[in-house]
Amino acid sequence: MKVKEGAGVLIVSPDEKTYLVKVFSGKSMGTHLGEINLGDAIGLEYGERIYSNLKHAFLVLEPTLEDRMMKLKRRTQIIYPKDAGLILLKCGVMTGMRVVECGSGSGALTMALANAVAPSGKVYTYDRREEFCENARRNIENAGYSDYVEFKHREAQAGFDEEEVDVAILDLPSPWDGIPAAAKALRGGGRIASLSPTYNQVERCVERLGQEGFVLIETIEVLIRSIRVARGKTRPVDRMVGHTGFLTFGTKALPESPSD
Amino acid sequence: MKVKEGAGVLIVSPDEKTYLVKVFSGKSMGTHLGEINLGDAIGLEYGERIYSNLKHAFLVLEPTLEDRMMKLKRRTQIIYPKDAGLILLKCGVMTGMRVVECGSGSGALTMALANAVAPSGKVYTYDRREEFCENARRNIENAGYSDYVEFKHREAQAGFDEEEVDVAILDLPSPWDGIPAAAKALRGGGRIASLSPTYNQVERCVERLGQEGFVLIETIEVLIRSIRVARGKTRPVDRMVGHTGFLTFGTKALPESPSD
Amino acid sequence: MKVKEGAGVLIVSPDEKTYLVKVFSGKSMGTHLGEINLGDAIGLEYGERIYSNLKHAFLVLEPTLEDRMMKLKRRTQIIYPKDAGLILLKCGVMTGMRVVECGSGSGALTMALANAVAPSGKVYTYDRREEFCENARRNIENAGYSDYVEFKHREAQAGFDEEEVDVAILDLPSPWDGIPAAAKALRGGGRIASLSPTYNQVERCVERLGQEGFVLIETIEVLIRSIRVARGKTRPVDRMVGHTGFLTFGTKALPESPSD
Amino acid sequence: MKVKEGAGVLIVSPDEKTYLVKVFSGKSMGTHLGEINLGDAIGLEYGERIYSNLKHAFLVLEPTLEDRMMKLKRRTQIIYPKDAGLILLKCGVMTGMRVVECGSGSGALTMALANAVAPSGKVYTYDRREEFCENARRNIENAGYSDYVEFKHREAQAGFDEEEVDVAILDLPSPWDGIPAAAKALRGGGRIASLSPTYNQVERCVERLGQEGFVLIETIEVLIRSIRVARGKTRPVDRMVGHTGFLTFGTKALPESPSD
C-alpha cells in the first residue's frame, strides 16, 4: 500500500515518538531530531522511511484505530481502547449494524463503532453540547469515517430518531436519563452499554435498566497493566492508569404480550 | 428480526442461565425449569419468549460475538473477549482486511477476527494439530463465519502462503518460531500480536520481534473486574480471573534499502 | 527452640498441606499420607520432622501470625493478612499501645493487633453478638494472646470504656454508628481504621469521619496477586481474590479551643 | 500525650500537606500558608494546633510508622508500607524476635522491623555500600529506633554474624547470593522474605530457596488502589502505582538427620 497525498499517517521517530499527521507536498514538520519534509512520504510503501535534515530516519505507518483514538483532539475524557474493545465484543458490534451513541464526546468511541459497522452500517451519535458535536465531527472526518456516522445535536431525554437499532451506547453524566430513549430505539435482543466513572452512577444506571426490562445486566471494569520487557529485567511498569470508568451492559427483552 | 429455522440463538432462563442452541421444529431441550420446545422460537422476534412445560418464560436472543466465543466447544484454553477486544483495536483490524492467525486453537479469536474483517476480508488460520483444525472449523461453521475464514493444517515454521497481509496473530507455545514467517507475510506497517501466558515466553518473543525489525513493540495484560451492583450494597466481586495471558504487539518496518 | 507439650504447631506434609494443631503425648492425627503421632514432635527443634506410619516426613513448624489468622475457627468473614498488615502500618500500632476494636468477629485482626502491642499494650475488643465474643475469645486463647486482649460484649453505640486510646478499629456493618464512640475514646492524634466491603458503607463512613473532625481521611483497597514461579514457566496465577473490603483511615484532631 | 522539645512531629496544614519535623524552641518553618513557629508545639497535646503568622491552623500529630517510612531521606527505592505490612504478618515478626536484614537501603523496612521487634528484640541490618549504611543509620536514629537496630557494613556473601535468628529479609539485586548465608543464620522453622522488582530475579531466587531446603515457598505482589470518596461521586483514583516489587517467602526446614 502506497502513501497518497492527503493521507493520515503515523510518523515514528527513531526513539519511537509518534506523530499523527496528514502528508502534503511541501508540508514540513519540526521534531526533536530535525525537520522532516512530509511530502517525502508520498508514494512510499507504509513501513518505509523518510529522513530529517539531520539524517534521522522516521518510519511512515498507517495509523491503527488505537492511534486515531488516542491522538484525536480532545474536549473531554476519551474512551480508552481497553474499554472500547470490550464494548465492541460484548455488544457484538459488526459490519452492517445500526448503532445509537449518546453522547459523542470527542468521538473516540464513535470512531471505534464506525470502524466496526463499516461499510454497510451506521452510527447515529447524539450530543447536547454543540461545540462537542463539531469537534467530534471534525475528528471523525479526519479519520475518514464520515460515511458511517451521522451527528445529531440533541440531548438524550429528547429521544432518538432511530428505531430497531442493534446497539445503544450511553456515555452520559446521568445515564439513567438516556435509558428510556435507548430502550425505545433498540430492537428486541438489542444490547446496551453505558460508561460511567463513579459507583453511584453505576448503581442508578443498573437500577433503571432493570426497571426498563433489560436482562443480562452486568457491570465490569477493565484494567491494563504494561510490562517492561528486557532480557533478565522483565517487570510490570511502575505507574499505571488506575481507573477510567465502569462499563455496564444489558440486553433488551421485549415486553411480554398481554395474551401470554 | 425474526428467528429462522436453524438459527443459533441464546436462550435465557428466568434466573439468567444461558444456552447457545440451534432451533429446529420439533427439537426440545431440558432445563432445570422444565422442558422447552425450541421450535416455538421460530418466527418470534429476538427479545420475545418461549415457555417451558412448567410455564417458565425463556428469552430468545441473538447471540453476541462474546456469547459465541465463550460457549464454543473447547479443546484448548480460549482467548477471552477482554483480550480479543484489545487485539482488534490495537491491530486496527477492520472490514476488508486480510489476517493470518497461527494457531487456531478452538477458534475463539478466529471468530472475533472474522467478525471484524467481514464481509470483504479474510482470516487465514493455521494449526499444526489436525484435530484442533477440525474442531475450530466446526465452531466457525456453527457461528456462521465460514465465508471469512480459511483453515490450514500446518505449523508456523513451515511459513504462511499469504503475502502482504495486514495483521498477523500468534498464539503459539513458542511464538518466536512463528515470528520470521509472520514478518515475511506482513505488509509494511502491518501489525503483529502474540499471546502468551508466561513471562519467559514474552521475553523471548520481544527479543525476536526486535531482531526481525519490528517497532512499537509493547507488552500488556488486561484484567477484568466484575462489580456486584445492588442499591446500597455495591462492591467488586469476591473472586476474579487473575491471569489469562500477556499480549505483545509490534509493527513491521520494512528494511532500509541499501541506497539509504 | 524446642517444641513443648501443648504447643500449637504447624505440621507440613511432603506435598505442603498444612495443619495447625496442638501437640500432646499420645495424640495422633490422620492424614492423606498416613497417621502421625503428634507426641513425636515434643522435644524436637522447630524445622525438624516427624514420620507417619507410612514413612512420610512431616515438618514441625512454629505457626506465624498469618498461619494463626488464616486457620482460626471462623464464624464470620475474617480479615486477611494483606489488610491487617497495612492497618498495623498505617495506624502505627506498636508495642505498648492501647487499641479499641469493634467488632471482634472471629478474632483474626484482634490477634494481629495483640501481636503488635505485646507485651505491654492491650487490645480492648467489643462485639454485640455473644457467640462471636466467645468464639473469638477461644481463638485468641488458643493462639496464646489472651494476656493482651480484653473482651467486651457490647455494641458500638453504647460507647467504649477506654479513654485516650492510641488506635480504634471498626469492623461493623454500619461503621458510622461506631465513629462517635471511637472519636470519644481516641487520644488527640489517635488513628482510626474502618473496614467495609461496599462503596456505600465507605461513603457514609467517610462523611461521618469528616463530621466528627477526623483529618487525613483516605480509603484504599489492597489486592494480592500470586505468582506461580517455575524456571521458564513463571506467570501470575489464574484465579485470585478480587475483593475483600475497603480500608478507610483517619486521624483524630482535637477540637479547636474556644479561645482560638 | 504532650509534645516535648526535640520530638519528631507531623505538622498538617489546613489543606492536608504534611511535614515531618523536629520541634525546638525558636525554630520556625516556612509554608505556603505562612510561617509557623515550631516551638509553639511544645507542651501541646497531639491533635492540637499551632498557627502561622497568617492565622492558619496547623495540626500537630505524632507520626505513624507509615509517615516515618514515607518521609525518610532516600538514597534508594524504599520499601512501601503495603509490602512491609505483609512481610511482617507473613513472617510473623513480633516483639522479642531477632531479625537479619540485608541490605539496609534507606532504612524504611528496617524501621518497620524495629518497630515490630521492640522493645526486647533486635534487627541486624547489613549493607555493602557504606554511604547507604550511614544514611539508613541516621534515618533510624531520627525515628528513635536505634536501640533495636545494629548496622553492619558488609555484603551478603560474606555471611552474617548471627545464628538462630527468627527471620531473614533479603533486599538485594541478586537475592540468590544471600540465600546460603540467610539459611545458615536462620533457626529451624525461621522465615525468609526476599523483595525483587523483576520476574527474572524471582525465578532464580525461588530456585535457590528450593536448593537450600526451604519449604512453603510462595511469591506474591501487593497492589494498592486508592478510592476517591465523595457523596455521590465515589470512584477509584485515576492513577496508581502499578508495581513496586515481588515478595518471595519461605520457611527453613532443618536437614534430615542421617539416622532418619
Helix (H, G, I), strand (E, B) or coil at C101: strand
Percent of chain B clearing pLDDT 90 (strictly above): 93
Query: For residues B91-108, b (16+ Cβ closer than 10 Å) or e, as one string?
Result: bbbbbebbbbbbbbbbbb
Q: Is some CB atom of chain B closer than 8 A to the CB atom of C241?
A: yes
H or E element that contains A88: helix A81-91
Q: Is some CB atom of chain C closer than 8 A to the CB atom of D98?
A: no
Round the average pLDDT of chain D to a whole number and report it. Answer: 95
> Which of A33-42, B249-258, C194-203 has the weakest average pLDDT?
B249-258
Percent of chain A clearing pLDDT 90 (strictly above): 93
With a CB-CB cutoff of 8 Å, which residues 45-74 of chain C face chain D?
Answer: 45-49, 51, 57, 59-67, 69
The C-alpha atoms of residue C236 and residue C234 are separated, in whole angstroms, by 7
C-alpha cell at C158: 453504647
Which residue has cell 463513579? A198
H or E element that contains A171: none
Confidence band (pLDDT; 50, 70, 90) for B78? confident
How far CA D102 is from CA of C203, D171, D173, D195, D244, in Å, comes to 42, 6, 11, 11, 18
Chain A residues in contact with B223 by the CB 8 A cut-off are 222-225
Q: Is some CB atom of chain A closer than 8 A to the CB atom of D236?
A: yes
Q: Is some CB atom of chain C closer than 8 A to the CB atom of D94?
A: yes
Q: Do domains A8-61 and A67-252 have the same CATH topology?
A: no
A52 burial class (0-12, 13-18, 19+ CB within 10 angstroms)? buried
CA distance C148 to chain B (A): 32
Helix (H, G, I), strand (E, B) or coil at D157: helix
Interface test with C, best of D229, D243, D257 (most C CBs within 10 A): D229
Chain A residues in contact with D233 by the CB 8 A cut-off are 198, 200
Round the average pLDDT of chain B to a whole number and report it. Answer: 95
Do you find a cis peptide bond into C175, omega within 30 degrees of 0? no
Calculate mean pLDDT across residues C92-104. Answer: 96
Give the per-residue pLDDT at B259: 53
**A48–B188 C-beta distance less than 8 A:** yes
Domain residue extents for chain D: 8-61, 67-252
Give the per-residue pLDDT at B75: 81
Give the per-residue pLDDT at B90: 94
Confidence band (pLDDT; 50, 70, 90) for C77? confident
CA distance D204 to chain A (A): 11
- Please check the confidence at residue A257 and state whether its pLDDT lies above 80: no
Question: What is the sign of the dihedral through the CA atoms of B81, B87, B92 and B96?
Answer: negative
Chain C residues in contact with D202 by the CB 8 A cut-off are 227, 229, 234
Give the per-residue pLDDT at D259: 53
Calculate mean pLDDT across residues D132-152. Answer: 95
Q: Is some CB atom of chain A closer than 8 A to the CB atom of D229?
A: no
Name the residue facing B199 among C221, C234, C240 (closest C-beta): C234
CA distance B18 to chain A (A): 9
Calculate mean pLDDT across residues C104-109. Answer: 95
Interface test with B, best of A227, A234, A240, A249 (most B CBs within 10 A): A227
**D238–A243 C-beta distance less than 8 A:** yes
Calculate mean pLDDT across residues D103-118. Answer: 96
Residue of C nearest to B235 (CA): C198
- Please check the confidence at residue C258 and state whether its pLDDT lies above 60: no
CA distance C41 to chain D (A): 13
The C-alpha atoms of residue A151 and residue A127 are separated, in whole angstroms, by 8
> What are C225-241's pLDDT values in tens digits?
999 999 999 999 999 99
Query: CATH top-level class for D8-61?
Result: alpha beta
The C-alpha atoms of residue A109 and residue D232 are separated, in whole angstroms, by 26
- Please check the confidence at residue C43 and state whether its pLDDT lies above 90: yes
Subunits next to B (3 or more Cβ pairs <8 Å) are A, C
| Assigned architecture for domain C67-252 | 3-Layer(aba) Sandwich (3.40)
For chains A and D, CB pairs below 8 A equal 58
Give the per-residue pLDDT at D137: 96
Cα end-to-end distance, chain B, whole Å: 58
**Which residues neighbour D230 within 8 Å (Cβ) at sequence distance 6 or greater?**
C203, C206
The C-alpha atoms of residue C121 and residue C255 are separated, in whole angstroms, by 27
Quickly list H helices, C97-219.
108-117, 130-143, 175-185, 199-211
How far CA B75 is from CA of A128, B143, B145, in Å, comes to 49, 17, 19
- CA geometry: angle at B226 spanning B220 and B228, to 5°? 165
Give the per-residue pLDDT at B70: 93
Question: What is the sign of the dihedral through the CA atoms of A150, A151, A157 and A158?
Answer: negative
Calculate mean pLDDT across residues A175-196. Answer: 97
Give the per-residue pLDDT at B63: 94
Name the residue facing D200 among A199, A234, A244 (closest C-beta): A234
Subunits next to C (3 or more Cβ pairs <8 Å) are B, D
Q: Smallest Cα–Cα separation from B103: which of B197, B168, B147, B161?
A: B168
Per-residue DSSP letter, C250: E
C-alpha cell at C22: 496442638
The C-alpha atoms of residue C118 and residue C144 are separated, in whole angstroms, by 11
- CA geometry: angle at A4 spanning A3 and A10, to 5°? 50
Name the residue facing C216 among D16, D65, D223 (closest C-beta): D16
- Please check the confidence at residue B133 and state whether its pLDDT lies above 80: yes
**A242–D236 C-beta distance less than 8 A:** yes
C-alpha cell at A56: 534521522
Cα end-to-end distance, chain C, whole Å: 58
> What are D14-61's pLDDT values in tens digits?
999 999 999 999 999 999 999 999 999 999 999 999 999 999 999 999
CA distance A20 to chain B (A): 14
Do you find a cis peptide bond into C103, omega within 30 degrees of 0? yes
> What are C154-192's pLDDT values in tens digits?
989 899 999 999 999 999 999 999 999 999 999 999 999
Q: Smallest Cα–Cα separation from A231: which of B169, B212, B210?
A: B210
> What are B174-188's pLDDT values in tens digits?
999 999 999 999 999
Residue of C nearest to D229 (CA): C203
Residue of D nearest to A236 (CA): D243
Name the residue facing D203 among C48, C63, C234 (closest C-beta): C234
> Which of A111-115, A136-140, B71-75, D136-140 has the weakest average pLDDT?
B71-75
Give the per-residue pLDDT at C260: 47
Q: Smallest Cα–Cα separation from D253: which of C59, C10, C67?
A: C59
Interface test with C, best of D3, D11, D79, D95 (most C CBs within 10 A): D95
Q: Is some CB atom of chain B closer than 8 A to the CB atom of A150?
A: no
Per-residue DSSP letter, A2: B
- Please check the confidence at residue D258 and state whether its pLDDT lies above 80: no
Give the per-residue pLDDT at D260: 47
Confidence band (pLDDT; 50, 70, 90) for D1? confident
pTM for the structure as a whole: 0.95
Name the residue facing B89 among A112, A230, A246 (closest C-beta): A112
D32 burial class (0-12, 13-18, 19+ CB within 10 angstroms)? exposed
> Which of C55-59, D104-108, D253-257 has the weakest average pLDDT?
D253-257
> Which of A143-157, C63-77, C223-237 has the weakest average pLDDT?
C63-77
Give the per-residue pLDDT at C259: 53
